[in-house]
């Protein structure tokens, strides 16, 4: 019996999905863009629509990746933990961890409305401001900021405490004010969640008082600059025991990305991480990432995750043509996949939809998916984009469906009923535990 297992390359164009846009004659950016490489992949492979959690369910990147990488059903640690790990910080098991950020705010109708965030030019001011709220203990819970740079920090809680509290960051600046932290409904320890929410509120109010009167903000007012006088929190979570990516899925995994979030995810899941410095030319940047994926395959990795943030950033600009232009710039950088799909299973999709018009951050709209490889039967789709992909062979898939699909095409599906490892993964294990010789 020959070993014909294939490696897998999963390319995620962050925020790829979109909506029909009047500016693009009722097309999405992916439909309207000239993408000859992605179109060639569509002709060689099979297509479908990726709806990470179903119709209408908007998701963040970290939640989508948790399912894409095979961890749906296991407790998610929260994005703050991933950001901390990606920044090289140590995150002890079980410690409540939040992400904190300096913001500008204005008072209106008895509420504080977040009106802006730090810019690169604010770096020195932000560092001084974040250093000013001293570590504090409130009702036995110690709260300490660990700066990340750019006006952001990790807020570490020690002395018990709970991660089951709501965000104070409104996300939607024009819809919600700075919000009060509350215990989550259904918290595993309701009393501890209430205690933590109360302690957090007390600490954030004290931070607000310190920031408003800080000499740095006084100087900003004199210079006509917006003050950075509110500390918001979000993404509370805690690190818990988890199987490594290979144990969970059966695949030796690697990630080729350039942001702390994905460096942290790789560190958490014990995946190899290859950092490719970001290049301003999106095509050259993507080509470098595909080259890195080839190196990881040559090193023995059997699933390589490749990620770019460029599409998501273009969507958040709320300029549809900007997202179209980014897709057209990325496309030639994907040319290496046309060769790679002769010896590997390659997939290109998005982790969620980022509408490039309107007020939404993310939406529950579908994102196109194309898969190509030696074992993939081509369907009738000839172009890349949401509308063409809707007629593809795969129909509609959720995030948790993608890894089993790719493992099947890679001649390494997990055989139901067979137990080669403690975890039922998406793939036949690369390296099951051998029995020692007698």
Q: Average pLDDT by consecutive 10-residue portion of the chain (438 residues)? A: 93 98 97 99 99 96 98 97 97 98 92 90 95 91 95 94 95 83 97 97 96 96 96 97 97 94 97 91 97 97 98 96 98 98 98 95 96 98 98 98 98 93 91 92
Residues 27, 16: Cα–Cα separation, whole Å: 14
Give 132: exposed, middle or buried? Use CB within 10 Å, 0-12, 13-18, 19+.
middle
Which two structure tokens, joined as six digits, stand for 297?
């395959």
Beta partners for 260? none
The pLDDT value recorded for residue 278 is 87
The pLDDT value recorded for residue 171 is 81
| CATH number of this structure's domain 8-73+242-409, picked from the four choices 3.40.720.10, 3.40.190.10, 3.40.250.10, 2.40.50.140 | 3.40.720.10
Pick left, alpha or beta for residue 434 (phi over 0 → left; psi -120 to 50 → alpha; otherwise beta): beta
The pLDDT value recorded for residue 133 is 86
Dihedral pair phi/psi, residue 268, rounded to 5°:
-60, -40
- DSSP states along 189-205: SHHHHHHHHHHHHHHHH
CATH 3.40.720.10 range(s) for the chain read 8-73+242-409
The pLDDT value recorded for residue 230 is 96
The pLDDT value recorded for residue 173 is 66
Residues 348, 8: Cα–Cα separation, whole Å: 11
Give just the sign of the alpha carbon dihedral 282, 265, 59, 100: negative
Distances (CA, A) of 242 to 6, 71, 89, 220: 26, 9, 18, 45
pTM: 0.95
């Amino acid at each position: 019996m020959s070993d014909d297992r294939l490696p897998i390359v999963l390319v995620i164009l962050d925020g790829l999905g979109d909506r029909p846009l009047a500016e693009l004659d009722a097309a999405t950016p992916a439909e309207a863009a000239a993408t000859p490489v992605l179109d060639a992949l569509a002709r060689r492979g099979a297509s479908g629509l990726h709806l990470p959690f179903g119709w209408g369910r908007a998701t963040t990147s970290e939640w989508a990746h948790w399912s894409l990488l095979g961890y749906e059903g296991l407790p998610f640690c929260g994005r703050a933990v991933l950001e901390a790990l990606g920044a090289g910080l140590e995150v002890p098991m079980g410690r409540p961890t939040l992400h904190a950020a300096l913001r500008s705010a204005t008072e209106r109708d008895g509420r504080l409305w977040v009106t802006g965030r730090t810019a690169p030019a604010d770096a020195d001011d932000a560092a001084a401001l974040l250093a000013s709220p001293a570590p504090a203990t409130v009702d036995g819970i110690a709260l300490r900021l660990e700066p990340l740079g750019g006006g952001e920090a990790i807020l570490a809680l020690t002395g018990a405490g709970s991660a089951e509290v709501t965000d104070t960051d409104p996300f939607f600046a024009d819809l919600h004010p700075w919000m009060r932290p509350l215990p989550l409904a259904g918290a595993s320890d309701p009393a501890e969640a209430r205690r933590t929410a109360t302690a957090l509120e007390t600490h954030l109010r004290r931070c607000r008082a310190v920031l408003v009167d800080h000499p740095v903000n006084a100087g900003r007012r004199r210079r006509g600059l917006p003050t950075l006088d509110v500390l918001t929190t979000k993404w509370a979570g805690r690190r818990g025991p988890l199987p490594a990516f290979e144990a969970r899925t059966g695949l030796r995994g690697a990630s080729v990305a350039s942001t702390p979030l994905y460096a942290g995810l790789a560190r958490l899941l014990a995946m190899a991480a290859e950092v490719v410095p970001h290049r301003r030319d999106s095509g050259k940047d993507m080509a470098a990432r595909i080259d890195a994926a080839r190196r990881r395959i040559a090193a023995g990795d059997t699933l390589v995750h490749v990620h770019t943030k460029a599409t998501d950033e273009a969507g958040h600009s709320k300029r549809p043509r900007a997202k179209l232009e980014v897709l057209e710039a990325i496309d030639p950088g994907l040319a290496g996949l046309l060769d790679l799909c002769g010896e590997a299973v390659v997939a290109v999709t998005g982790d969620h939809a980022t509408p490039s018009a309107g007020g939404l951050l993310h939406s529950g709209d579908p994102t196109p998916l194309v898969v190509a490889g030696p074992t993939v039967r081509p369907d009738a789709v000839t172009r890349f984009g949401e509308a063409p992909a809707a007629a593809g062979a795969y129909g509609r898939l959720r995030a948790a469906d993608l890894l089993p699909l790719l493992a099947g095409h890679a001649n390494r599906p997990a055989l139901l009923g067979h137990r080669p490892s403690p975890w039922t993964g998406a793939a036949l294990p690369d390296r099951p535990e051998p029995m020692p010789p007698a």
